[in-house]
Amino acid sequence: MERLDDNGLPADNVDELDYVPATRQTPVVNSHNEWDPLEEVIVGRIDDAGIPEWHVTLESTMPESAWELFRSRGGERFPEDMLHKAKEELEGFARVLEQAGVCVRRPEKVDMALPFSTPHWKAKCSLYSAMPRDAFLVFGDEIIEVPMAWRNRYYETSAFRPLLKEYFRAGARWTAAPKPELRDELYNHAFRSPESMADMDYAITEFEPVFDAADFSRAGRDVFAQRSNVTNLMGIEWLRRHLGPQYRVHELEIDDTHPMHIDATFTPMSPGKVLINPDRIKKLPKMFDNWQVLVPPKPTIDITGGFSMCSNWIVANTFMLDEKRVFVEAKEEPLMRAFESWGFEPIPYSLLNFNVFGGGFHCCTLDVRRRGGLESYFE
């Protein structure tokens, strides 16, 4: 009998998903916001994720329950059973997207266990290619490789090179932000975990521009950013100057003593509707005065009992198929009911085993092509 996973899908791993080119009228890379109808998406891989080595950027962002593994086994592969369960969920999610008519693309399999070095430091392994959202930003027909702050992520974009080259050949603009050096001077070695925003401290300095793509959120001409333990002010400014006068990059005021990534904190879901994490956002800019502010119920799931690279708020890391349909954690009933009450159609799918690697629906995807153009959603 066919074995099914928690999502009712065949549990066998799918190694390669065939690429079926979508019939399209828009450029091959075309994405301006979080909600236009999705045509093509990259879904990451979790196959052979490596355990990052202990570092101040982990201390400043990761739940304490995860520290022991980083400290004792940094540089090794994550345990097989963890990888296997997460992989089944991720492959199933890729199939669900395909069944919804979306062209699903995957990074190449690369060996994450290979050590590497620069003139300034060494790393025992790479982290993973599971979260394309962290590594790339798409603005219209441009894909930007971003300068990530974690050393174990230095070569993370390698797994995506075949796709990047293909998109480039098909007409996309392909840009890489200045490759950071990630020297010791970038890190705040005196970092002490802040108790409150009054004694806020960051694990990175302004030595050079660094940012993770997931610290930005797109709503057409308006782009929202958070300063975090992986995104510094120089990084935000680099993107602002790079995008130029067609865009407005706004730095949001975030109430989070350990910030890393905005996509479980603040998400424009559709024109006029924004989801905020009530624990992390106390005040929105005035430009949202005419928007409906959606405040999700507190998470009921708990992934923090064992190893986890994120908090239970990962359930707020949603992903839009179009401006109505939204992927929501299947085991998070109150959130699904909330989305229904706000006029959305939740698509339930469970990623709890994947979540412990630090990401949800939004993190493991990169919406390469959505049907729609560059617009302004604010007066």
Q: Which is nearer to ligand ABU, 32 or 133 (CB)?
A: 133
- Told to check if 314 binds ligand ABU by CB under 6 A, we report yes
Count of CB atoms situated within 10 Å of the CB of 282: 11
311 binds ligand ABU per the rule CB under 6 A: yes
Q: Tell whether residue 214 is a contact of ligand ABU (CB under 6 A).
A: yes
Q: Which residues pair with 103 in a beta bridge?
A: 40
Q: Does 359 bind ligand ABU (CB under 6 A)?
A: yes
Residue 303 binding ligand ABU, by CB under 6 A = no
Specify the residue, 279 or 375, whose C-beta has the smaller distance to ligand ABU.
Answer: 279
Q: Is 364 a catalytic residue?
A: no
Compute φ and ψ for 57, nearest 5 degrees.
-75, -20
Binding track, positions 15-54, relative to ligand ABU; x by CB under 6 A: ----------------------------------------
Instruction: Tell me: does residue 57 bind ligand ABU (CB under 6 A).
Output: no
Q: Which stretch binds ligand ABU (CB under 6 A): 52-60, 96-104, 228-236, 262-270?
A: 262-270
Q: Which of 40, 263, 329, 367 binds ligand ABU (CB under 6 A)?
A: 263
Query: Among 47, 48, 134, 212, which one carries the catalytic annotation?
Result: 212
Identify residues 103-142 at the interface with ligand ABU (CB under 6 A). none
313 binds ligand ABU (CB under 6 A): yes
Query: Taking Cα atoms as reference points, which of 116, 122, 231 lies closest to residue 177?
Result: 231
Whole-angstrom distance, CA of residue 8 vs CA of residue 297:
26
Q: Counting contacts by CB under 6 A, is residue 310 touching ligand ABU?
A: yes
What is the residue whose two structure tokens read 């001077």? 185
Which listed residue (135, 252, 363, 366) binds ligand ABU by CB under 6 A? 363
227 binds ligand ABU (CB under 6 A): no
Task: Choose, by CB under 6 A, the member of 129, 317, 318, 353 that binds ligand ABU.
Answer: 317
Identity of the residue, 125 or 130, whose beta carbon is nearer to ligand ABU in the bound complex: 130
Residue nearest to ligand ABU (CB): 261
The residue among 103 and 130 lying less far from ligand ABU, judged by its C-beta, is 130
Any catalytic annotation for residue 212?
yes
Question: How many Å apart are CA 316 and CA 297, to the nearest integer?
Answer: 10
C-beta of 299 vs 372, nearer to ligand ABU = 299
Q: Per CB under 6 A, does 355 bind ligand ABU?
A: no
| Rounded CA separation 156/128 (Å) | 7
Task: Specify the residue, 147 or 372, whose C-beta has the smaller distance to ligand ABU.
Answer: 147
Burial 194-221 (b: 16+ CB within 10 A, else e): eeeeeeeebbbeebbbbbbbbbbbbbbb
3-state SS of 87-113?
A: HHHHHHHHHHHHHCCCEEECCCCCCCC
List the beta bridge partners of residue 329: 349
CA distance 256 to 200: 9
Q: Rank residues 261 and 369 by Cβ distance to ligand ABU and give the closer one.
A: 261
CA dihedral sign, ordered 12, 18, 21, 23: negative
Beta strands in 169-323 (DSSP E): 173-176, 216-219, 222-225, 248-251, 266-270, 273-276, 292-294, 319-320
363 is catalytic: yes
Query: Which residues are catalytically annotated?
Result: 212, 261, 363
Residues that bind ligand ABU (CB under 6 A): 214, 261, 263-265, 310-311, 313-314, 317, 358-359, 363
